[in-house]
Structure 1
């Protein structure tokens, strides 16, 4: 199983990276690869890559598949020798290996025969490699590989589409994951690189499909091993958050301004911040570095939303105001230009060194096994993560506390000031995300089989009316503030201020009523509902 980081190299940084790599003895290899899949791309759909690659004079057949986190990949290589021509592809060469079994399952047809393979794309890469040793605590030996070249998509026509490749990979050969994290952070920070999830195979698939923008990645439920302890829960949830964050961050860092990708990236960061806040107590050993990770996440989240939140609110508000007969007023007139001079673009926010360093640290956290317990003072028990039962009790208390806070907030919502009302909305989001994280740990066997809606699904459904009411109330509060600011340059904006002001009390009452209805929601974490 490989453990590696891969970074995109901006064109203006390539010369410096090349020079830094050549400060030691490097090996230059030309890599010419052919990638195979079925006509309906079933390997790509399951995260599997099958290729033949000429490395210098030797041919190597490789199959790779995604592992259980952003650093791990299953891989098996078969050296085919120095044949003069490209040998044929043969999936049977990987038989008897874990990744070979996944390949065989993906290719299995209904008639028992494997599906036919076709060449989908090729690459022509010049690779410079060098082993780097990092001494001291967490010392490692890592292979640095600088890949420069192109991916070519074979669309079955004389026309071929190409995409440039310029990336740096750091693969752990010996030592610890934290040591590799430190080395990756040093290289990425020094040269302005950003973590990338786009493989060469994926580049070719995009070329074949003619995709300039790929769909944004949304959140999926986390997966847990059987009876996970506190540390394992933390790792699984952080990995789950990163599965949403990293692909969207890769696209935004590369220059995409797709609104949905930015939106899903912000959701991923918000989910991750909830995990850092609510799961910190699952492991008292200190490996869960909330204080070190959170500031950069907050900065990026705010930068991504600084102007877009206001733009989105204006889009929602203007049709309502037109229907009410309001004069046409643009509350953001001149704001975009002003913000452009002071606010980073989404890409700049994601490429920020502090944010990239935290992403690398979090990826490393998900791939690092729990350290041995620290020696305790004489007579004191060792400091260890909570065991599975204690971890579930911890989550039960956190969920119950947030649930009760939502009910308390509902009863007094109309009397709260604006900032406190906004905090209610954020707290409800935390309740929702924590419920989503914890739900698999409290499911019964029948619920896991999908016989009916799970108790967690029913609970989350009961939260939605309150989320919607609070979201609309917040949007109107932001819109009212926007139009109030706009009165300084356009007196016609006072109509909107008055209109939203008149709706404020009714909106607050709707929030109170929606929050009060949460009381009857079936609490899936109730004692006695443990896994059966």
Structure 2
């Protein structure tokens, strides 16, 4: 298993970075790779990459598969012998990777495939490697520049640029890798990306590539329930879970392929992470670094300003159009997609540095030593008791406000929505430990959150259209229509809130 960070390099910073890499003892090598898959994409659809790569005068066969966290991946390499003068590559032999984690996944995918392996795309790049020592360990740095090529030698030939810096932990503590990564990223304006060279090749093969926004997936245990509920283990699992959503969307945005839904899902990921940092902190006091919060808040709020005049108003604009509004989009953003502005926000050095630290925190094992200033973590029994208490408290607060929702001030209604989100996210973090009613409870929260979200969007739209009347009288139609909608939107919220289910219990460790 490899543990590494991968960064994209802004083109205007490449020359300075190359000079910095070459200052120390280093090695240079030319690499040319051939990637393989089946016609039905049996490997790429499962996050598996299989290649033969010429590294200098040797051929190396490699299989890569997804790991269990944001920093690790399963990988197995085999030397396939010296390269011939003709340049011809050996035939790929997947069976050579048997009895490895990545190889088992590769062979399983091929068994389910509908056809044989075939070459799909290739890479041509120059790699500069250098070891960086830190107290107690070593990091290997690899600077890759070159291109990915698809449909080589045909009229349809396409290519994509490779310009990446990888930092892999070779020896020592993970914290040392994070320090080195943060130093180089800050100094050279680097930004994290989870888009691999293999995925860049897959994008060239597709007629119109568009990676869907990454949404939150259900939490799962990685062992016994007792281990899952252990305070330190649950903290790390929840942070890793949030980072999967954050990094997937942030990578698309910083590389220019993101759209409004990526921005929206990134904000959800950040909100979920902030909930984890707030609600799970007592499980292992001192484990979370308070310095993570400010850059998370900054990016969340700045992206929110983009969304306010973008995706948040799209459905309202459509409804206004259906209602006969003379011009219903006078408040929407018209100067380009939000991706360009969002990319600059996500590349903010402070945000990137926080992500680097969070990834290192999440990648540490359950039995990792306590962080500086970290007090004793709660065991599974005490964690379960604390979480049950907090879930019941949030649920009771929501139920209290639901009783007279329409009479609450707007600020209190908005606070209820935020509290309901915290309840949902915290329940999702412990979903594997919820009793048989857990799934139906989580399902009962969604209609209320949808209704409250719509109410908030309509109020925002009313404010924006009211301001627009100063320069465009046609906005008065939207102001009147939205004012008339307020009572109905509040009633929708009351109806949905009334159907929130009772709070389920957390199962004891060992119970099923």
TM-score, normalising length from structure 1?
0.88
CA contact (8 A) 2:381 2:508 kept: no
User: 2:503 matched to 1:523?
Assistant: yes
Residues in 2 aligned to 1:375 and 1:492: alpha-carbon distance in whole angstroms: 60
Quickly say closer, same or farther: Cα 1:179–1:263, change in 2 above 3 A. same
CA contact (8 A) 1:109 1:115 kept: no
CA contact (8 A) 1:311 1:332 kept: no
Q: Which residue of 2 aligns with 1:418?
A: 410
Is the partner of 2:70 in helix, strand or coil?
Answer: coil
Q: Which residue of 2 aligns with 1:472?
A: 454
Quickly say closer, same or farther: Cα 1:213–1:320, change in 2 above 3 A. closer
Q: Which residue of 2 aligns with 1:450?
A: none
Larger mean CA deviation between 238-247 and 255-264 belongs to 255-264
Larger mean CA deviation between 423-432 and 411-420 belongs to 411-420
Is the partner of 2:216 in helix, strand or coil?
Answer: coil
Q: Which residue of 2 aligns with 1:446?
A: none
Quickly say closer, same or farther: Cα 1:530–1:492, change in 2 above 3 A. farther
Q: Which residue of 2 aligns with 1:192?
A: 189
Q: Which residue of 1 aligns with 2:105?
A: 102
CA contact (8 A) 1:314 1:331 kept: no
1:472-522 Cα offsets, whole Å, 9 max, x none, are 22122112211222233345544543443344344334423432332xx14
Shift of 1:373: 5.3
CA contact (8 A) 1:29 1:55 kept: yes
Q: Which residue of 2 aligns with 1:20?
A: 20
User: 2:273 matched to 1:293?
Assistant: no
Quickly say closer, same or farther: Cα 1:510–1:17, change in 2 above 3 A. same
Q: Which residue of 2 aligns with 1:347?
A: 343
Unaligned runs of 5+ residues in structure 1 are 377-381, 444-453
CA contact (8 A) 1:455 1:524 kept: yes
Q: Which residue of 2 aligns with 1:3?
A: 3
Unaligned runs of 5+ residues in structure 2 are none
Larger mean CA deviation between 206-215 and 399-408 belongs to 206-215
Q: Which residue of 2 aligns with 1:392?
A: 384
CA contact (8 A) 2:256 2:340 kept: no
Quickly say closer, same or farther: Cα 1:329–1:164, change in 2 above 3 A. closer
Larger mean CA deviation between 505-514 and 356-365 belongs to 505-514
* Equivalent of residue 93 in structure 1, options 88, 91, 96: 96
CA contact (8 A) 1:458 1:522 kept: no
Is the partner of 2:18 in helix, strand or coil?
Answer: helix
Residues in 1 aligned to 2:83 and 2:43: alpha-carbon distance in whole angstroms: 27
Aligned length: 504
Is the partner of 1:299 in helix, strand or coil?
Answer: helix
Larger mean CA deviation between 304-313 and 189-198 belongs to 304-313
Quickly say closer, same or farther: Cα 1:260–1:325, change in 2 above 3 A. closer
* Equivalent of residue 458 in structure 1, options 427, 435, 440: 440
Is the partner of 1:70 in helix, strand or coil?
Answer: coil
Shift of 1:212: 4.0
Residues in 2 aligned to 1:129 and 1:191: alpha-carbon distance in whole angstroms: 17
Larger mean CA deviation between 81-90 and 16-25 belongs to 81-90
Shift of 1:530: 7.6
Q: Which residue of 2 aligns with 1:252?
A: 253
Residues in 2 aligned to 1:473 and 1:482: alpha-carbon distance in whole angstroms: 14
Residues in 2 aligned to 1:167 and 1:108: alpha-carbon distance in whole angstroms: 33
Pairs within 5 Å for 1:158-169: 159-169=156-166
Residues in 2 aligned to 1:28 and 1:50: alpha-carbon distance in whole angstroms: 24
